[in-house]
Amino acid sequence: METEIVIKEQDNKGFAIASVNSQKAGVMTYSITNSDFIIIDHTEVEPEFKGVGKQLLYKIVEMAREKNIKIIPLCPFANAMFKRLPDIQDVLKK
């Protein structure tokens, strides 16, 4: 099962969208408040695509590392994942 994840940004909003075999599997949205950090505010995954939320988060973390910005996870899912996964805490805004 091939998951494709694309990040798109427009104005002060952005999102990572996942599709599996051309079918929308999930989306994680974020707000761009300034050039230093983003706020992940919502995650939505179709019930049949377990694990896609984590893949979306890793894609946004990868982007944050490339841009050298931090993340504030307001979304309960993203927040829980940051607490559970030490390997992504380097991009967590303290």
- Residue in the block written with tokens 């969208």: 17
State residue 34's pLDDT score.
83
DSSP class of residue 90 equals G
- What does each C-alpha distance from 42 to 1, 15, 21, 27 come to in angstroms? 24, 9, 23, 8
Prediction pTM value: 0.95
Give per-residue pLDDT as tens, 22-76: 899 999 999 998 889 999 999 999 999 989 999 999 999 999 999 999 999 999 9
Rg of the chain taking only CA atoms, in angstroms: 12
**Extents of the domains making up the chain:** 3-91
State residue 58's pLDDT score.
98
To which CATH superfamily is domain 3-91 assigned? Gcn5-related N-acetyltransferase (GNAT) (3.40.630.30)
